[in-house]
Chain A
Amino acid sequence: MEWLVRALDLVSKWAIPLFLVGIPAAGLARGVRIYEAFVEGAKEGFQVAVRIIPYLVAVLAAVGAFRGAGGMELLAGWLAPVLEPLGIPASVLPMMIVRPLSGSGANGILGDLIRSEGPDSLAALMAAVMAGSTETTFYVLAVYFGAAGVTRYRHAIPAALVADAAGFAASIAVVRLVFG
């Protein structure tokens, strides 16, 4: 496992510098007017960013209001008695609720668990695997659908949440198996 981690670390360190030089180099070799092509492509960047703003405001304002009101804590309180018999520590619950809604919130919960229960506690390990194996689902959906101008998501949210739930369940099971 150690060599794999090392190799992947090397890839993430070198990938961007190599792309920055390698792609223009390949373009030059094939006679592409690389500077003009770059500027032409880069022009789209601003438009895309501005186009997603209204969609992001809608999602982040609603999530912010829900969290500011204390909705996350309440939800965690309700779910705890259901999940504890399943071998899921109550302190991991907030992670499962916050993770799809807020990336910084999830990092905050992980940091808090590492501090309060220790980095190698079962709860902190589960939360770490959950944070690493899932994404900020609602943010991704808002940004990507926003860029395309799609407002009717059909089955995207249920399917994405099923995937998140599967990721959480797998995190719990694997951590119990490996570290339990």
Chain B
Amino acid sequence: MALIWFLLLATGLLVAVVSGNLDGFTRGALDGAAGAVTLALGLVGALALWLGLLRVAEEAGLTDAVARALRPVMQRLFPDVPPDHPAMTAMVLNVSANALGLGNAATPLGLKAMEELQTLNPRRDTATDAMVLFLVINTSSVQLVPATVVAMRAAGGAENPASIVGPTLLATAVSTLVGIAAARLLARTRLGRMPPELA
């Protein structure tokens, strides 16, 4: 991450200098930083609501029931995570919420899953295989209906705004499957090797 972060900044500066657009560079950085705080604080309400409901669901035994139903799939995907671990439940719920397009419910569940995976992590600064696989499944999108895109097409006067739903499902399936394969394969290459322990 350090390398990519620095490359974004350094090439940005290079472009800015060449095109004489230093102001744009500076404004972009400051706007981005301010926007990050707005974004994070904007999450507080939804986070509190869903984490509160999640606690109720946990104590009522609902989350265990969901996790038990999907145990066979999850165990194959995440062999390093004990099947009864709360991380499994949180991951199942996160992916389900994402599939339904409930983004504001999915994020709190996903963050919870990451915290639970962290309890299984022997090196707290370094991602585990399970974390990487879980995040690649998340970044590859598992949403069944791209509601925003359909709405934008409708607003733009498309003949059949929902016509892209089928193609999108297919493309999403391809990206998720390729992502799972890539996470698995890259874990065993130089890219996935454990970095040296920090002193």
**Residues of A at under 8 Å CB distance from B?**
1-2, 4-5, 8-9, 11-12, 15-16, 19-20, 23-24, 26-27, 29-30, 32, 34, 37-46, 48-50, 52-53, 56-71, 74, 100, 107, 110-111, 114-115, 118-120, 124-125, 128-137, 140-141, 143-145, 147-160, 162-164, 166-167, 169-171, 174-175, 178-179
Complex: how many Å from CA A169 to CA B167? 12
Inter-chain contact B12/A46, CB cutoff 8 Å: no
Q: With A56-B39, A120-B159, A166-B178 as given contacts, are A65 and B52 in contact (CB-CB < 8 Å)?
A: no
Q: Per a CB cutoff under 8 Å, which of A4, A42, A66, A148 touches B49?
A: A42
Nearest Cβ in chain B — how far from A68, in angstroms?
2
Taking the complex as formed, is B74 at the interface, i.e. its CB lies under 8 A from any CB of chain A? no
Inter-chain contact B139/A140, CB cutoff 8 Å: yes
Residues of B with C-beta under 8 A to A29 = 60
19 pairs, A vs B, C-beta closer than 8 Å:
A37-B55, A37-B58, A37-B59, A41-B56, A42-B49, A45-B47, A52-B43, A56-B37, A62-B12, A66-B15, A68-B16, A133-B168, A133-B169, A133-B175, A149-B124, A152-B1, A154-B126, A154-B127, A178-B166
Nearest Cβ in chain A — how far from B31, in angstroms?
5
Q: Per a CB cutoff under 8 Å, which of A62, A162, A171 touches B32?
A: A62
Complex: how many Å from CA A95 to CA B176? 19
Known: A134-B175, A174-B167. 14 other contacts (CB 8 A): A30-B60, A42-B51, A45-B108, A46-B47, A48-B43, A57-B36, A62-B12, A65-B32, A68-B25, A110-B149, A132-B149, A133-B146, A164-B175, A170-B174
Q: Per a CB cutoff under 8 Å, which of B9, B110, B150 touches A65?
A: B9
Inter-chain contact B189/A155, CB cutoff 8 Å: yes
Inter-chain contact B136/A156, CB cutoff 8 Å: yes
Residues of A with C-beta under 8 A to B118 = 148-150
Q: Per a CB cutoff under 8 Å, which of B35, B48, B100 touches A15?
A: B100
Nearest Cβ in chain A — how far from B60, in angstroms?
4
Counting chain B residues whose Cβ lies within 8 A of the other chain, the interface size class is 35 or more
Q: With A114-B152, A155-B192 as given contacts, are A64 and B33 in contact (CB-CB < 8 Å)?
A: yes
Residues of B with C-beta under 8 A to A2 = 162
Q: With A37-B59, A110-B149, A141-B139 as given contacts, are A152 and B126 in contact (CB-CB < 8 Å)?
A: yes
Taking the complex as formed, is B70 at the interface, i.e. its CB lies under 8 A from any CB of chain A? no
Q: Per a CB cutoff under 8 Å, which of B29, B45, B62 touches A26?
A: B62
**Residues of B at under 8 Å CB distance from A?**
1-2, 4-5, 8-9, 11-13, 15-16, 19, 21-22, 24-33, 35-37, 39-41, 43-62, 100-102, 105, 107-108, 110-111, 114-115, 117-118, 121, 124-127, 131-132, 135-136, 138-141, 143-150, 152-153, 156-159, 161-172, 174-176, 178-179, 182-183, 186-187, 189, 191-195
Complex: how many Å from CA A64 to CA B168? 28
Q: With A140-B135, A156-B132, A156-B136 as given contacts, are A170 and B170 in contact (CB-CB < 8 Å)?
A: yes
Complex: how many Å from CA A171 to CA B166? 11
Inter-chain contact B33/A153, CB cutoff 8 Å: no
Inter-chain contact B56/A60, CB cutoff 8 Å: no
Residues of A with C-beta under 8 A to B126 = 150, 152, 154
